[in-house]
Amino acid sequence: MNFQISKEPIDIQSVIDKVVQRNAGAITTFIGTVRELTKGKKTLFLIYDAYEAMAVKKLEQIGKEIEERWEGSQVAITHRVGRLDITDIAVVIAVSTPHRADAYDANRYAIERIKEIVPIWKKEHWEDGEEWMGNQLETVAYPSGKPEESDLNE
């Protein structure tokens, strides 16, 4: 149960506890939170939705990738779904490794992979509208139906 999708607020400590191991010299924790301003535009709240069964599998895959790449690592990830307000926690990633550099690197790898392959989507709600957000990098919507030149250059 190291990889979960949660409809309830995430208990950070419980995610950390899953990667506690005697051979660890470090545990890094990444806490992704809901930001109010993106490029000057004010977010009121977000809705996260997931293809839950596949999302769990893809989180497990990321865990396996990390354990193969960073020897002795252990990984736990919980991602929230549902309505989240500003400052709420969207994702918690805990990685333990024998040495601290690996714990930082592996944790960074996990969040970047989540943004590539895990079927979770966020819908931004602003004062003047709402939109499902849509590229793997972050927060670009494609109202015209495809990425614009300017999006591709970011």
CB of 55 to another protein, least distance (A): 8
53 lies in the site for another protein, by CB under 8 A:
yes
| 55-74 binders of another protein (CB under 8 A) | 55, 57
Whose Cβ is closer to another protein: residue 5's or residue 19's?
5
Least distance from another protein to the Cβ atom of residue 22, Å: 30
Task: Count residues near another protein (CB under 8 A).
Answer: 35
Residues 101-140: x where in contact with another protein by CB under 8 A, - otherwise, as a string: ----------x--xxxxxxxxxx-------xxxxxx-xx-
For the chain, the DSSP string reads: --EEEESSPP-HHHHHHTT--TT-SEEEEEEEE--SEETTEEEEEEEEEE-HHHHHHHHHHHHHHHHHHSTT-EEEEEEE-EEEETT-EEEEEEEEESSHHHHHHHHHHHHHHHHHHS-EEEEEEETTEEEE---SSSS---TTSS--HHHHT-
Q: Does 54 bind another protein (CB under 8 A)?
A: yes
> Which positions touch another protein (CB under 8 A)?
32, 48-51, 53-55, 57, 79, 90-91, 111, 114-123, 131-136, 138-139, 142, 145-147
